[in-house]
Amino acid sequence: MVQKKIVLATHNQHKRHEMNRVLSSMGITIVGLNDFPQIGDIEETGKTLLENAFIKARKVFELTGIPSIADDTGLEVNALDGAPGLFSARYAGENPTYEDNINKLMLALEGVPKEKRNAKFRTIIAFVDFNKELHSEGIAEGVITEIPEGRDGFGYDPIFKPNNFNKTYAEMDIEQKNKISHRGRALKKMKKLLINYLK
Q: Enumerate the active-site residues.
A: 72
Q: Assign residue 94 a region: left if phi > 0, alpha if psi is -120 to 50, beta otherwise?
A: beta
Helix orientation angle between 13-23 and 182-198, rounded to the nearest 10 degrees = 50
> Could you give the residue ranges of the DSSP H alpha helices within 8-138?
13-23, 49-64, 98-108
DSSP track, 151-181: SSS-TTGGGEEETT-SS-GGGS-HHHHHHHS
DSSP-assigned letter for residue 43? P
Q: Determine the Cα–Cα distance for residues 140 and 160; give it in Å rounded to an integer.
A: 10
Quote the CA–CA distance of 108 and 115 in Å, as a whole number. 16
